[in-house]
């Protein structure tokens, strides 16, 4: 469109003016203040001019895609990356635990967490609902599992340490249930969304006289 092209030309013109002004400042700084010579000053000013253009072109090329529910593609990407890092940490500390039964409990928690992040990928808007819950509870779980692994490896039969370890083992079951409950909430929301779509489709078909 003509208006858009004019705005683009104006923006590019302003960018060139700013880049040129910066290049001039760099040239004068290198030549007179730093006394680095004509050719080095010219090279520095040209480099500054090019750098400004490259930086702004990169920013212009960055496009944020909104996936619905106030969630952008960037937020989804960041959330999934955070989840991958946290699950690797959980795996790392689980491998340090010698007790097979406790390792399996941690593994079961990890499976539920993985399902939650898989749900985020399939339905990104759920991130707004569960991200804060996950951020706290996963970090707390990782810390507890890490401390358990460290204490268990150093336990030489201390009654106090053994009691603490038993408490953690019992707590792991509670943690798993909490994550399962959060996953159920997200899935129920998905069911409600689908029910809404079904009703909307049914009403549209009736209004258009296409039903039986």
Q: In this predicted model, what pLDDT tens digit does every residue of 68-98 receive, in sequence order?
A: 556 788 888 888 898 899 999 999 999 999 9
Q: Which residues have C-beta within 8 Å of that of residue 118, sequence separation ≥ 6?
A: none
Does residue 129 or residue 180 have the better pLDDT? 180
Residue 167 — pLDDT band, cuts 50, 70, 90? very high
pLDDT at 198 over 90: no
Q: pLDDT averaged over the chain? A: 76
What is the pLDDT, as a whole number, of residue 149?
94
- What contacts 144, CB < 8 A, 6 or more positions away? 168, 171, 175
- The owner of tokens 């079951």 is 173
55-59, 62-66, 151-155, 167-171: lowest mean pLDDT where?
Answer: 62-66
The confidence band for 29, taking pLDDT boundaries of 50, 70 and 90, is low
Query: Comparing 178 with 208, which gets the higher pLDDT?
Result: 178
Determine if residue 66 is left, alpha or beta; phi over 0 gives left, psi from -120 to 50 gives alpha, anything else beta: beta
At residue 163, the pLDDT reads: 92
> What's the sign of the alpha-carbon dihedral 195, 197, 201, 203?
positive
pLDDT band at 131; cut points 50, 70, 90: confident
Q: 118-142 as b/e, with b when 16 or more CB fall inside 10 Å?
A: ebbeebbbbbeebbeebeebbeebb
Can you give the pLDDT at residue 2? 45
> Sorting pLDDT into bands at 50, 70 and 90, what band is 38?
low
pTM as predicted: 0.61
Higher pLDDT, 117 or 5: 117
Task: Give the pLDDT of residue 60.
Answer: 45
Element (H, E) at 72: strand 71-72
């Amino acid at each position: 469109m003509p208006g858009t092209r004019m705005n683009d030309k104006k923006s590019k013109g302003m960018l060139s003016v700013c880049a040129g002004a910066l290049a001039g400042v760099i040239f004068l700084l290198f030549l007179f203040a730093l006394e680095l010579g004509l050719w080095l000053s010219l090279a520095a000013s040209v480099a500054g001019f090019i750098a400004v253009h490259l930086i702004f072109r990169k920013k212009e090329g960055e496009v944020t895609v909104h996936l619905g529910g106030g969630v952008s593609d960037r937020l989804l990407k960041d959330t999934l990356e955070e989840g991958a890092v946290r699950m690797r940490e959980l795996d790392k500390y689980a491998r340090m635990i010698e007790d097979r039964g406790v390792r399996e409990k941690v593994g079961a928690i990890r499976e539920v967490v993985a399902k939650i992040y898989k749900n985020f990928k399939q339905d990104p808007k759920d991130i707004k609902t569960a991200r804060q819950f996950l951020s706290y509870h996963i970090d707390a779980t990782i810390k507890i599992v890490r401390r358990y692994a460290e204490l268990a490896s150093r336990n030489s039969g201390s009654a106090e340490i053994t009691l603490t370890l038993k408490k953690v083992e019992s707590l792991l079951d509670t943690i798993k249930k909490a994550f399962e409950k959060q996953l159920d909430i997200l899935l129920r929301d998905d069911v409600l969304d689908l029910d809404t779509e079904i009703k909307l489709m049914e009403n549209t078909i009736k209004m258009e006289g296409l039903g039986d």
